[in-house]
């Protein structure tokens, strides 16, 4: 009995299961999945096989690569369920989402057949149901504040992982940078990852961290990519030290007395509502402390909360 317990403890070393999903711990990185559905069956087997092949100490870039791969697999599965892709049209259906690409000819035919013409009602609207392989668009939201100078290795690890994953599957990659008092799309979606890396030389540093603005830019870009037939995945790279809120509130719910943190969680609520897969990379993970008051959140607390609210994946680089 003691021998069996010892073998079980050795087999489970570095892997922890918890009520909301799946977690994996190593000396250099921590991986948490807050989506129980994405870590069942084949996904959990995929992660286990990947770690078995890697063996030994797991590099942070490998952990990020696994997280991005699981997210893109889940995004492609959701895309197949919606039936949208750049492939051939097999039918026309009633739109179910809030954003969709209107099929004009079938809509007009339906309005004429039901006797509504020249008026068009909501039940007359149609969108194309397409079959084929769902393509993925990875949108990187990069924190370019001055505090990130201490996380250069974390940024490099994240970009290496995304580059390997995007190159393997010919995914589109976009880059959104947030610094100062706002955010900007530095590189629109492209399959040339070297072009994304080249744009990083244009990015400087600033004292402020408007992470919510960068997330909102990435969110709107993800919706546009979805309308074009791509399955979007948002990868947020930051240390969580946010200090600039959005210009205006976008939700009535109150998450934090700090306006900057409130804005981050408001955008996270939008991302969850639209079902966009998210990977949160914390470049400066520290052990969460319970000694601080509940209204005081560290960067790690914010990034963990962000991953939990979006039901995405969290990678903390130690």
Q: Domain residue spans in the chain?
A: 6-81+133-317, 88-130
Contact between residue 271 and residue 235 where contact means Cβ atoms under 8 Å apart: no
Only one residue has tokens 């259906």, namely 93
pLDDT reported for residue 277: 92
CB count in 10 Å sphere of residue 58: 20
CATH architecture of 6-81+133-317: 3-Layer(aba) Sandwich (3.40)
Q: How far apart are CA 164 and CA 166, in angstroms?
A: 6
The residues, any chain, with a CB within 8 Å of residue 307's CB and separated by 6 or more, are 32, 34, 278, 280, 313, 314
Q: Is 251 exposed, middle or buried (0-12, 13-18, 19+ CB in 10 A)?
A: middle
The overall average pLDDT reported for the chain is 78
Residue 98 has pLDDT above 90, yes or no: no
Q: What distance in Å separates the CA atoms of residue 211 and residue 215, rounded to the nearest whole number?
A: 6
The whole-angstrom separation of Cα 228 and Cα 222 is: 10
* Residue 3, both tokens: 């021998």
pLDDT digits (tens, 9 = 90+) for 150-163: 777 788 888 888 88
**Beta-carbon count within 10 A of 40 CB:** 12
Question: Residue 315: in which H helix or E strand, if any?
Answer: strand 313-317
**Structural tokens at position 252:** 């009535």
pLDDT confidence band for 47 (50 / 70 / 90): low
pLDDT tens column, 70-86: 788 777 766 544 444 44
Closest CA to 307 of 43, 18, 20, 80: 20
């Amino acid at each position: 009995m003691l021998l069996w317990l010892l073998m079980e403890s050795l087999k489970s070393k570095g892997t922890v299961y918890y009520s909301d999903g799946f977690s994996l711990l190593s000396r250099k990185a921590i991986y948490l999945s807050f989506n129980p559905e994405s870590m069942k069956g084949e996904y959990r087997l995929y992660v286990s096989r990947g770690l078995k092949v890697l063996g030994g100490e797991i590099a942070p870039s490998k952990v990020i690569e696994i997280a991005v791969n699981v997210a893109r697999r889940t995004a492609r599965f959701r895309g197949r369920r919606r039936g949208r892709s750049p492939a051939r049209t097999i039918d026309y259906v009633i739109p179910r989402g809030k954003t969709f690409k209107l099929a004009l000819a079938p809509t007009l035919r339906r309005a004429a057949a039901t006797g509504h013409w020249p008026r068009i009602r909501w039940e007359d609207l149609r969108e194309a149901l397409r079959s084929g392989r769902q393509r993925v668009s990875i949108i990187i939201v990069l924190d370019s504040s001055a505090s990130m100078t201490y996380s250069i290795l974390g940024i490099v690890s994240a970009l290496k992982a995304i580059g390997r994953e995007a190159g393997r599957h010919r995914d589109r990659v976009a880059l959104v940078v947030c610094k100062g008092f706002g955010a900007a799309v530095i590189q629109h979606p492209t399959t040339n990852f070297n072009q994304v890396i080249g744009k990083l030389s244009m990015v400087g540093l600033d004292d402020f961290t408007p992470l919510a603005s960068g997330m909102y830019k990435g969110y709107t870009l993800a919706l546009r990519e979805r309308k074009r037939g791509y399955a979007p995945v948002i990868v947020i790279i930051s240390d969580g030290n946010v200090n600039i809120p959005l210009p205006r509130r976008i939700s009535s719910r109150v998450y934090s007395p700090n306006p900057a943190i409130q804005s981050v969680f408001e955008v996270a609520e939008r991302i969850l509502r639209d079902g966009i897969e998210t990977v949160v990379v914390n470049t400066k993970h520290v052990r969460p402390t319970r000694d601080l008051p509940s209204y005081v959140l560290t960067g790690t607390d914010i990034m963990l909360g962000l991953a939990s609210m979006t039901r995405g994946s969290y990678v903390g680089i130690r």
